[in-house]
Amino acid sequence: MDSLSNPIPKILIVEEDEPLAADLEECVKELGYTVSAVVSDGHAAGEVAGNARPDLALVDLSLKGDLDGPRVGGQLCRRFDVPVVYLIDNTRGELFERARATNPYGYVLKPFDTRQLYVNLQVAVSTHQREREHRKALIELERTIGESTYRKELMDTVFDSMSEGVVAVDDSADKFLYVNPGARQILGMDMTDDPPYRWAEKCGAYYPDMETPMKAADLPLMRAIRCGESTDEEDVYIRNTKKPDGVYIRMSGRPLLDNTSEIRGGVIIFRDVTERVLADEALARAFDQGRLEMVDTILHNIGNAMNSVTIGIETVRRNLENDRAGSRLFALARAIDAHRNDWVAYIADDPQGRKVMPFVIKLAEDFGRRNDELMKTVGRVRDRANRIADIIRTQKALDGSDMDRKDIDLFDALSGAFRVLRDSLNKRGIHTEVDCGNAPQEIRIRESQFHQMLVNLVKNSIEAIDEHAVLFGLQEKPRIRISACAMKGFLFLEIIDNGIGIQNKDTRALFTPGYTTKKSGSGLGLHSSANFVIASGGRIEPLSEGKGNGTTMRVMLPLSAVAPHVAAG
């Protein structure tokens, strides 16, 4: 008994007969137990039990006083969880019946027999110990059941509160394990009336083309059960009597596995993406319309540039055709040739010859002026030819031939937006400025999309200046400024104009597909710009102090994506 795992039981002796109490104490110790105390009345027994917490009490059933034997035994059992073995004589009666009501763990006849005492002590201590462990196990079981119930109720509450649909099915595909209210709401019906393998037929499942029926075996839920396949973000079109207009749902499925990785069922989570799909379709239509407008703009810009090229070439032709300086040069050459043999005397003594030197100087000045004019004209022609090349290169990029990210010069890219729209800017007398400030010299990005974003934003500023001129007139020179700087892990781009500005309430709608305040236009420009910025991990936001106060369109791109060398530094 004397071990750390099995400590020696402590025995409380409650006996009025002092000689008998002494014999009991000695015998108990000889049997290998510890005696907590030996007391002669019930009050003392209660105090010892409260302090010493004995493992068992030997109680004289014949105790006198207000706390007799049965009362002491009942008190020790109820208050202190101490098992009781009564010391009794041969008498039976009301006292014995009261003792039985306290559920004692044994009886020892007086005068006691050592073997009988030993057996009673052993049985009482071990039985009480087992009962105590059993009670602890029951308490732990109740706690575990309570926690499991709480978790189940919590999970039910979570799933029931989800707007997404959640459906779980057993491995036989014959029984629904769980269907949350979100699933019923999205599908328009309760699926549990029929087995899961009829789900596709009952709910009216189609492929995204809205025409081809989907077989039950092709649904992510069945593939998870039958093949253990995990699926993510698959679109399914649902049309039934409750959803006659149809809904698009985006579905993900997983198999339910046990501890041995055996498939025990499947679960799917899906959500209604009808609005998003319809918005994408509207965007595609707007994009097609926008491309037609863009092609028209490109052809218009090319036509303007070609007009300038034609005018420049015609100017060069006229200058060469009416070349007075050349005619005068040929006349001088003939005069010099006529006096080849007396050239020195001719220019020194002849009145006409003395005019040759001033004539040559004047002729050189005329050639210089004509040269300057021709160089300016040729420069304009070259600029217009480059302009045409830029337009064609931009169009080719928009057709998808340049979708890879590459390193580009930031200042040149920002200036390129002004070059594309130079005719529109010059026509309105808009002053432009590019300031790269504290920005990386090069960035890595999809050049064509970045370029088109800038063109869209600058074009938006031009239109804002036009609207300001119509409503309020132009009290100051119209201007558009593009600034760039690196700060707080982002590349900040700001397109700043002094156009009409925006009201705060308008900012949410600016980037939605199809939104426009113009009578003509696709409403695609700002939306496609926002899509590009968001896809690049950034964000775009308009800033304005209200109508008539201009707008700053701020674009924030993460440096880690567009300038990793700067972000690392």
Residue 506 has pLDDT above 70, yes or no: no
Inform me whether the pLDDT recorded for 497 exceeds 90: yes
Choice between 242 and 82, residue whose per-residue pLDDT is larger:
82
Cross-strand bridge partners of residue 552: 496, 543
For 127-151, the pLDDT digits (tens) are: 998 988 888 888 888 888 888 777 8
Q: Categorize the per-residue pLDDT at 402 as very low, low, confident or very high, splitting at 50, 70 and 90.
A: very low
As a whole number, the mean pLDDT across the chain is 81
What does the pLDDT average to over 71-87?
91
Tokens, residue 476 = 């100051």
List, in order, residues 6 or more apart from 331 with CB less than 8 Å away.
none
Q: 173 by DSSP, 3-state: which?
A: coil
Cα–Cα distance, 282 to 569 (Å, whole number): 43
Q: Which pLDDT band holds residue 2 (cuts at 50, 70, 90)?
A: very low
Q: What is the pLDDT of residues 22-69, one digit of tens each?
A: 999 999 999 999 999 999 888 888 898 889 889 999 999 888 888 888
The pLDDT, as a whole number, for residue 4 is 42
In this predicted structure, what is the pLDDT of residue 548?
Answer: 85
The predicted model scores a pTM of 0.39
Judge contact between 529 and 283, C-beta under 8 A: no
pLDDT of residue 498 exceeding 80: yes
Take residue 343 and report the two structure tokens written for it.
């050239």
Return the sign of the alpha-carbon dihedral for residues 470, 476, 481, 483.
Answer: negative
Instruction: Lowest mean pLDDT of 45-54, 304-313, 356-365, 491-500, name the range.
Output: 304-313
- Longest CA–CA separation in the chain, Å: 178
Please report the DSSP string for 258-314 in residue order: -TT--EEEEEEEEEE-HHHHHHHHHHHHHHHHHHHHHHHHHHHHHHHHHHHHHHHHH
Handedness of CA 481, 486, 488, 490 (dihedral sign): positive
Q: Are strands 10-14 and 34-39 parallel, antiparallel or unpaired?
A: parallel
Give residue 200's pLDDT: 76
Q: At which residue do the structure tokens 């989907």 appear?
A: 214
**pLDDT at residue 483 tops 90:** yes
As a whole number, mean pLDDT of residues 90-111 equals: 85
pLDDT greater than 60 at residue 316: yes
Provide the pLDDT confidence category of residue 396 given band limits of 50, 70 and 90.
low
Q: What angle do CA 177, 182, 184 make, to 5 degrees?
A: 70
Lowest-confidence pick of 226-235, 368-377, 422-431, 467-476 = 368-377
- In the prediction, which pLDDT does 415 show? 92
pLDDT at 320: 67
Tell me how far apart the alpha carbons of residues 474 and 431 are, in angstroms, rounded to a whole number.
13
Long-range contacts from 343-352, C-beta under 8 angstroms, 24+ separation: none
Kindly tell me if the per-residue pLDDT of 460 is higher than 80: yes
**388 Cβ contact list (under 8 Å, min separation 6):** 302, 305, 306, 309
Q: Return the minimum-mean-pLDDT range out of 232-241, 326-335, 472-481.
A: 326-335
Three-class SS state of 255: strand
Q: What is the CB neighbour count within 10 angstroms for residue 352?
A: 11
What gap in Å lies between CA 540 and CA 554, rounded to an integer?
6
Nearest residue to 251 (alpha-carbon basis) of 224, 278, 211, 226: 224
The model's confidence at residue 387, banded by pLDDT at 50, 70 and 90, is low
From 127-136, 177-186, 353-362, 491-500, the region with the lowest mean pLDDT:
353-362
Q: Are 236 and 249 in contact (CB under 8 A)?
A: yes
pLDDT average, residue stretch 511-534: 67
CB count in 10 Å sphere of residue 195: 16
pLDDT value of residue 380: 72
Per the document, the length of the chain is 569
Amino acid present at 319: N
Q: What is the signed CA dihedral for 382, 384, 389, 394, rounded to 10 degrees?
A: 140
Look at strands 84-88 and 56-60 and give their pairing: parallel
At 76 the three-state DSSP class reads helix
- Reduced to 3 states, what is the DSSP secondary structure of residue 179? strand
**First-last CA distance in the chain:** 72
State yes or no: pLDDT of 340 exceeds 60: yes
**Tokens read off for 474:** 């132009």
Query: Is the pLDDT confidence value at 567 over 90?
Result: no
* Choice among 82-91, 160-169, 343-352, 425-434 with the minimum mean pLDDT: 343-352
